[in-house]
Structure 1
C-alpha cells in the first residue's frame, strides 16, 4: 500500500510538472505562429499509449515516464529531424523566427516552473501556514543515531546552538542549512563546544547506511503490534506510549535499547500512557530482547505532552504572497548551494546525486496534500534550474546559443547546432545514467 501511495504522488507530481513545463514552450510558440508538431507527456519511443491530432499538433502520452517534450517545427532538438532541416526554411518554422522570439519560446518552460513553484508556496502559506518548532523547546537536545555524526563527535542529547556562525532558532534551520555547513556549535552538559565537519561530509553522508541527521527525541509510541509478537493479545492499542519498563523511566525512544539490555525471554512490568490514563501491563520479551512493537509518530500528541512546541504562523491572502516569495527565494538559494557543492569535487556531494528512485523516495508513505505540494514546488524549482544548465540538449543550451546570436549578430550554423545537440544529448544521458545508478549503489 505504501508503494501505491508513493508512486501515485510521484507520477502525479511528475506529470503536472512535465505538462506545465512543455506548455511554457507551447504557448509562446503558438503566439508567434510557430508550428508545434507534437505535445507529449512521457516519451513515445516506437509507440504511444495515447495520441490524437488536433489541428496541426499531435497530443499524446508515451510509455516511458522519463520526461516529455514538444516538437517544434524547424528546430534542432532531440528528435534530430535532419530531413526537415534539409528543406528550405518556412515562415512557420522556429528557425525562421527572430532570435528574440526564439529566446522567449526556449525560456517559456523554466519560466513556468518558477512561476508554478512561487504560487504553490503562496497557496501552501495561505492554506496551511508555517509550522515551526523552536530549538529551545527541545529541552534534551537531539537524537543522534547516525554513526557518521557520532564519529564526527555528536552525541544524543546535544543541543544545536549555531550552524557556522549563525544562531539557529528553529528546528528547520538545523537540517536545511546542512549543505554548506562547516561548523556546528553545540551545548552539551551546559558547556558549549564547536564540532567541525570534514570537507567531504556530504560525500560521506551520501555513502552512509543511515540518512538520519538530527532527529527530535520522542517517546516510544506504539504504531503496530507485529503478528509474531508475544504480546499480540496483551491488550495493547495503537498510540499507547510506554513510559517505564521494570520500574525504570523511559522518556525517550532512544533510551529503549539501554533499558532492555539483559532482558530476554522474560515478563516485565510496563507502564503505559493511553490518553490521560496510566495503565500497567505485564509484557513478554522475546529471545531478541524485543516486545514486538513497531514505533509510531504523532506530532500533535507529542506537542500535547510537552516533548517540543509547535507554532503555526497563519497568513491572510495578501500576506501569503510575501510568505510565498520568501519560501521561493529561500528554496532557490539552498538548491543553488546544493548544486555548487555537487560541482565541487572535494565535497563529495556528487555521490549523493540521485535519479528517479531518489525522487520517488522523498514522497511520504502516506497521502499528505501539504507534503505533496511542497515537494512539487521544490521539484519545479529543481527542474527549472537544471534546464537552465548550458548543456546543448537542455533549454539552457539553446538559450546559450541564442544569446550568442543576439550579442554577436551571427547565427551558429545548423551543422554546428546539430553536432552540439548530439554532444549535449550524450552528456545528458551520461548524467541521467550516473544519477540513476547512484540510486542503487
Structure 2
C-alpha cells in the first residue's frame, strides 16, 4: 500500500469516526437529557463501546469513551437495555428508575435521541444553505457541449456528446434534476436526449441504483462536458514538480489538441511512467511543459470548470425552508430505497452499506463542506433507522410504550427482556451483514 493510499484511508476513517462520534453523542445526550428532566437516574453516558478508554464520575453519572468508536450508549436505572442487567430488574422499583415513571415520560425519553438527531440534521442543512447557498448548472450550460457518458451510462445507452432535453418525459431546469433521487429511486425513469439531430429515449432500469451504490461509480455516471483550467495542484506530484501553475489552461498533450477535461482524463493514463509534453496557455501566452506521468497514470491536478455556474444565495427564511426540505428528503429517499428492496427491484446486499461504505462516501480528502453535509445526512439516517419498529431500537421501545399508553396495560418484564434479546440478535446480525457486505464489495 502506497503512502498516499494509506493517508486517504486514515482521512476516511477519521471523518467517519468524528462524524459518528458527534451524532451518537448527541443522540445519547437526547436520551439522557429527557431522563434527567423527569428525575430518572442516568448511570452511564458513553461515546463508543467497551472496553473503556476513559471515564469520569460527575454526580450520579459516569461519562466516558469506549474503544470501539462506532456507537455509544446511556444506561438509565430501571430500564431493560443492551446491558441486559436483569438482576437489578428483580429488585423493587425505585422512584428514580425508568420503570417507575409514567409511560408518556418513558416514551419521551425513548424518542429523545431521534428528536435530537432530526433537529441536528435539519440545523446542519439550514446552516449550509444559508452560509454557502447553492451552485447549480442550468440546462443551457449542461447542454452547451453535452454530457460525458461514463461506463455505467454507456451500459444503458447514453453516449458522450448527448444533450439531455427531458427527464422522465418532462423538461428540467438544472443538472440536479438529471441525477436526482426521483430518477434513480423512482420506477420506469428515463432520459430523452438529442443525438445527431435526432431525439432518443433512454430507459433507466429499476434496479440501476444497485450499480450506483459505489460513491465512485455515481460520480462517474454522467458529467457535463467541460472546458477547464488547472484549479488545484497536488503537492509532490508530477504536475506541481514540473512547474504547472493554478490557472494554466491545458490545450494539448504531445501536440494533440485538448479542449475538455474528459479528453485530458482519457489521454494521460495512456502514458503511464512516460514523459508528456503539455501545451498550455498562461496569462494568454502559449508555452510547453514536460511532465512525467506517474505509474498510476496521474499527474496530480484538479480541474476548475469553465462552464458558467449559477449561485443561489438564500435568505435566512429561504434557507430554513430549503434546509428542512433537503433534510426530510433524506428520510423520504430512505423510505423509497426500502420500497425498492421490498419490491425486489434491488438487492439488500447492493443497497445497504456499513462503516466502510459510509467512510468511502466521505472520501480521501478532508473537505469540511462535504463533511458537514454528510454528517447532516447521517443524522437524518440515524433518526430514521432508530425509528424503525425493531425491538432494541428506539422505535421498538416506542411501539411497546405506545401500546401501554393506549391499552393501559404494561407488558411484563419477561416479555421486555425477550423482545430486547430478539432485537439485539437482529441488530448484531444486520451489523455483521453490513460489515461483511462492505468487504465483499471491495473484494469483488
Shift of 1:382: 0.3
Shift of 1:109: 0.5
2:25 counterpart (3, 13, 19):
19
1:404 and 2:410 matched: no
CA spacing shift, 1:226–1:220, aligned 2, 3 Å? farther
Range with bigger deviation, 265-274 or 6-15 = 265-274
In structure 2, what is the Cα distance between the partners aligned to 1:160 and 1:111? 41
1:165 counterpart (166, 169, 192):
169
2:126 counterpart (114, 118, 122):
122
* 2:43 equivalent in structure 1: 37
CA spacing shift, 1:174–1:226, aligned 2, 3 Å? same
1:149-188 matches, within 5 Å, as 149-177=153-181, 178-180=184-186, 182-188=189-195
* 1:65 equivalent in structure 2: 69
* 2:300 equivalent in structure 1: 294
1:384 and 2:383 matched: yes
Shift of 1:393: 1.3
The unaligned stretches of length 5 or more in structure 1 are: none
* 1:332 equivalent in structure 2: 331
Q: How many residue pairs are counted as aligned between the two chains? A: 428
The unaligned stretches of length 5 or more in structure 2 are: 1-6
What secondary structure, in the 3-state scheme, does the structure 2 residue paired with 1:440 have? helix
In structure 2, what is the Cα distance between the partners aligned to 1:337 and 1:434? 21
Shift of 1:49: 0.9
1:7 and 2:6 matched: no
Range with bigger deviation, 250-259 or 154-163 = 250-259
Range with bigger deviation, 106-115 or 127-136 = 127-136
CA spacing shift, 1:371–1:400, aligned 2, 3 Å? same
What secondary structure, in the 3-state scheme, does the structure 2 residue paired with 1:390 have? coil
1:202 counterpart (209, 212, 216):
209
Shift of 1:352: 3.0
In structure 2, what is the Cα distance between the partners aligned to 1:8 and 1:328? 24
CA spacing shift, 1:23–1:350, aligned 2, 3 Å? same
In structure 2, what is the Cα distance between the partners aligned to 1:327 and 1:16? 20
2:87 counterpart (54, 79, 83):
83
In structure 1, what is the Cα distance between the partners aligned to 2:114 and 2:215? 34
* 1:372 equivalent in structure 2: 371
CA spacing shift, 1:3–1:271, aligned 2, 3 Å? same
CA contact (8 A) 1:131 1:313 kept: yes
1:34-433 matches, within 5 Å, as 34-44=40-50, 47-138=51-142, 139-146=144-151, 148-177=152-181, 178-180=184-186, 182-206=189-213, 210-211=217-218, 212-219=220-227, 235-237=243-245, 240-245=248-253, 247-256=255-264, 270-274=278-282, 276-281=283-288, 283=290, 293-298=299-304, 302=305, 305=306, 308-348=307-347, 350-433=349-432
Kindly provide the CA deviation profile for residues 373-419 of structure 1, in whole angstroms up to 9, marking residues without a partner as x.
21111110000000011110110110111112222222221111111
Shift of 1:157: 1.8
In structure 2, what is the Cα distance between the partners aligned to 1:288 and 1:365? 20
Kindly provide the CA deviation profile for residues 280-321 of structure 1, in whole angstroms up to 9, marking residues without a partner as x.
32647889997x6234133xxx2xx3xx22222222334332
CA contact (8 A) 2:215 2:361 kept: no
TM-score, length basis structure 2: 0.86
Kindly provide the CA deviation profile for residues 110-129 of structure 1, in whole angstroms up to 9, marking residues without a partner as x.
00111111111221122111
Shift of 1:424: 0.8
Range with bigger deviation, 320-329 or 209-218 = 209-218
Shift of 1:249: 2.8
CA spacing shift, 1:164–1:91, aligned 2, 3 Å? same
What secondary structure, in the 3-state scheme, does the structure 2 residue paired with 1:167 have? coil
TM-score, length basis structure 1: 0.87
Range with bigger deviation, 170-179 or 392-401 = 170-179
CA contact (8 A) 2:79 2:97 kept: yes
CA spacing shift, 1:31–1:259, aligned 2, 3 Å? closer
Structure 1 vs Structure 2 CA RMSD:
3.1
In structure 2, what is the Cα distance between the partners aligned to 1:432 and 1:216? 38
In structure 2, what is the Cα distance between the partners aligned to 1:81 and 1:297? 57
